[in-house]
Amino acid sequence: MKQKSIAVVGAAETTKMGKIPDQSVIGLHADAALNAMADAGLKPSDIDGVATAGISPTELAYYLGITPTYADGTSVGGCSFMLHVRHAAAAINEGLCNTVLITHGESGRSRVGAGRFGASPSSLNGQFEMPYGPVGPPSMFTVPVLRYLKTYGLKPEDMAPVAVIQREWAAKNPRASYRDPLTIDDVMNADMIAWPFTKLMCCLVTDGGGALILTSAERAKDFPQKPVYILGTGESVETPMVSQMEDFTSSKAFRVSGKKAFDEAGIKHADVDHLMIYDAFAHLPLYGLEDLGFCKPGEAAAFIRERNTAIGGKLPLNTNGGGLSYMHSGMYGMYALQESVRQMRGIAPAQVPGAKVSVSHGVGGMFGASGTIVFSNEAP
Amino acid sequence: MPPRMLPEPTPETRHFWDGCKAGEFRLQRCTECDGGSYFPPRPFCPKCGSRKVEDYVASGKGVLWSYVINQRPRPDMGTEPYAIAVVKLAEGPQLMTNIVNCPQTPEALELDMPVQVAFAKQNDDISLPLFEPVPPSSRKAA
C-alpha cells in the first residue's frame, strides 16, 4: 500500500460504554456508526463501502440504509477490524469504493440480541479441544503461558505489572470501567480464574461499540476532523486451536502481521510514539512487545515492570486502560484502533504529548489471527 | 451433571477416533516428504500438501507441555477444578487433553514430566485420549 494514501476521517465509540442493557448488538453497531458519521459530517448515503464482524455486512448496510459497492465480512475474532482497515485501504486505492464504514458492536455483558457461543462438535475445536473442558477464552487463551514463563525463568507474578500499570492509564480516562489504583498484591490475590490467571489478569466483559470511516488522503483534507493517515498494515492467521500454536512462547500471526505493517510503513521501532496491544489477558502485551520486536524474547515483563510503558515512559502502551481496565466487549480490536485515532488527533484523555506515530496491534481468537495498523498524523 | 461434551468424528478423523476406541493412539505421517508426524488428522500432509499419507500407531507417550487449572468447571466436567493441558508427543505433535490419575495442582503438574495416554471410554463410539503421569518406576525403561 502506498503510505498515507488513505486516512481515517470519522471515528467514534458508542454513546454509552460498559453496561448498556437498553441496546442490542445491531443497535450498538448503529449507534457507533451514526456517531462516526456525525464526526465525519457524513450521511448514510455518502457511504459506499461497509465492513463489519459479529453481524454480517448485509445486516449492517440494510439497517443503516447504505447501498455499498464494497462489502467485507472478514471475521477472525477481535482483530477483524484491523483487517477491515487494511482491506478498505486496498479497496479505496483500487477504486472499488470511496468511503468505507467499519463498525463493531457487542453486548458482551448484557447479551441483548447476541448470538450464542459454541463450536460444532464436528469442527476441529469441537473434536480436539472442547472435550477437555475449556470454558471460553479464560481457560484457552491462557494455556500457552506456563511454557512461556518456564522458558524465560519467569513467574506468574511477572505478569501482574501489566494490570497495575494499565490501571494507572485507566485512572486518567473518565470512560474507563475500572479506575481505582491496583497493587501487585491486589492482582495476585484476586479470585483465581484459571491458574495461574487471577481475575485481574483477565479482561472485562462489557457492552459497547465503535466505528471508523476511511477515505482517500486526497479527499480527507475536506473533512471536519484532522485526518489520521495510514502508514502501513499487516495481517495473518495461524490456527483455530490454541493447542496447535507452533510455538507457545511466540505468536506466528503476530510476527508476520507486525513485520508486514512495519515494513510497509518504513518505520523503525524508535519511531513509534504510542502503542496499543490487544490485551484480552495480561500475557498478551508480553507476547506483543516481543513479537513486534520492541523487546527481545523473554524481556517484555521486565520492560513493563521498569515502567517503560507507563505514564511518562518511553513507549506508552494501552493508554485507554486496555481490555483489562477500559472495556472489553468480546472483540476489543475496535477500541485499540479508536484510542490510536484519538492519540493521533491529540484528543485522548491520557494524551501522549507530541505523538506522531501510533501502532495498533490486534489478536483474534486464541492467538489465532492478527492485524496491525500503523497510523500517523503527519500529512503526506 | 449434563453429559460430557464429546467429539463428532468426520470422515477425515474417523480413523483417529476408531483408534482411541481400540486402545491405539494413531498419528499420521507423510510418505512423500520428511515432514514428520502431524495432528489433528487430515488426509494430506500439512507441510507439503501430498495426499500420500499413512496412519500408524504412535507411542502414546509425551511430556506435559503447558496447562491452566480451570477454577470454574464447565457443568459437564464436574465440580472440582481441573487442568486443561497440552501434551507434546514423543513424535512431535502436541494436543489438548486432561491429565488424570494426578492431583490437579501446580505442585503435582510439573512441566516436562513424562506422561502416557490413558483412554477414557465415554460411550460405545468415543474414548477420549487422556494422559497420566508415567510412574517413576517405569520412567527409565521408557
Q: Is the pLDDT of residue A81 over 80?
A: yes
- Secondary structure letter of residue A314 according to DSSP: S
Q: Strand A228-237 vs strand A274-277: parallel, antiparallel, or unpaired? A: unpaired
pLDDT of residue A3: 87
> Within a domain: residue B126?
yes
Residue to substitute from A127, A157, A192, A252, interface B, most B β-carbons within 10 A: A127
Residue A129 contacts B, CB cutoff 8 Å = yes
Cell of B141: 525403561
> Within a domain: residue B72?
yes
Chains A, B: CB pairs < 8 Å = 112
Per-residue pLDDT of A84-98, as tens digits, reads 999 999 999 999 999
| Phi and psi angles of residue A16, each rounded to the nearest 5 degrees, phi first | -110, 160
Per-residue pLDDT of A320-361, as tens digits, reads 999 999 999 999 999 999 999 999 999 999 999 999 999 999
Cell of A321: 486502560
pLDDT of residue B140: 57
ipTM score above 0.90? yes
Strand partners, A374: A232, A359
Looking at CATH, the fold of the domain delimited by A6-113+204-376 is given as Peroxisomal Thiolase; Chain A, domain 1 (3.40.47)
Residue A127 contacts B, CB cutoff 8 Å = yes
Using a CB-CB distance cutoff of 8 angstroms, which residues of chain A are in contact with residue B36?
none
Burial class (CB in 10 A: 0-12, 13-18, 19+), B8: middle
Q: How many independent structural domains does chain B possess?
A: 1
Residue A31 contacts B, CB cutoff 8 Å = no
Alpha-carbon distance of A310 to A313, in angstroms, equals 5
> Within a domain: residue B127?
yes
Expressed in percent and rounded to 5, the helix, strand and coil fractions of chain A are 35, 20, 45
The answer to whether the Cβ–Cβ distance between B5 and A131 falls below 8 Å is yes
Query: Which conformational region is residue A220 in: left (phi greater than 0), alpha (psi within -120 to 50 degrees), or beta?
Result: alpha
Per-residue pLDDT of A287-307, as tens digits, reads 999 999 999 999 999 999 999
Nearest CA in chain B to A122: B8
> Within a domain: residue B49?
yes
Q: Does residue A358 contact residue A276 with C-beta atoms inside 8 Å?
A: yes
CATH of the domain at B70: 2.40.50.840
Nearest CA in chain B to A198: B71
Q: Is the pLDDT of residue B16 over 90?
A: yes
Average pLDDT of the residues in A31-55:
97
Using a CB-CB distance cutoff of 8 angstroms, which residues of chain B are in contact with residue A147?
65-66, 111
Cα of A319 vs its chain's centroid, Å: 12
pLDDT of residue B142: 44
Alpha-carbon distance of B98 to B82, in angstroms, equals 8
Cα of A196 vs its chain's centroid, Å: 24
pLDDT of residue B1: 87
> Within a domain: residue B114?
yes
Shortest CA gap A115–chain B (Å): 20
Report in angstroms the alpha-carbon separations of A85 from A2, A95, A99, A204, A303.
14, 15, 12, 25, 30
Cell of B19: 483408534
Alpha-carbon distance of A344 to A357, in angstroms, equals 7
pLDDT of residue B75: 95
Q: Is the pLDDT of residue B141 over 60?
A: no
> Within a domain: residue B101?
yes
**B→A interface, C-beta within 8 Å:** 4-10, 13, 39-40, 65-74, 76-77, 81-82, 84-86, 94-98, 106, 111-112, 128
> Within a domain: residue B104?
yes
Per-residue pLDDT of A238-281, as tens digits, reads 999 999 999 999 999 999 999 999 999 999 999 999 999 999 99
Closest by CA position to A320, among listed A311, A330, A331, A307 = A311
Sequential DSSP letters for A150-202: HHTT--GGGGHHHHHHHHHHHTT-TT-S--S---HHHHHHSPEEEETEEGGGB
Residue B90, domain extent: 14-134
Enumerate helices (H) and strands (E) in chain A, giving the number of each. 13, 11
Cell of A355: 505523538
> Within a domain: residue B37?
yes
pLDDT band at A377 (very low <50, low <70, confident <90, very high): very high
The answer to whether the Cβ–Cβ distance between B84 and A194 falls below 8 Å is yes
Residue B61's CB is within 10 A of a number of other CB atoms, namely 17
pLDDT band at B88 (very low <50, low <70, confident <90, very high): very high
The answer to whether the Cβ–Cβ distance between B95 and A133 falls below 8 Å is no
The answer to whether the Cβ–Cβ distance between A132 and B70 falls below 8 Å is no
Question: What does the domain layout of chain A look like in residue ranges?
Answer: 6-113+204-376
pLDDT of residue A367: 97
Across A1-10, A66-75, A99-108, A312-321, least confident range? A1-10
Q: Which residues contact A42 (CB under 8 A, 6 or more apart)?
A: A10, A99, A213
Q: Does residue A183 contact residue A264 with C-beta atoms inside 8 Å?
A: no
Q: Is the pLDDT of residue A172 over 70?
A: yes
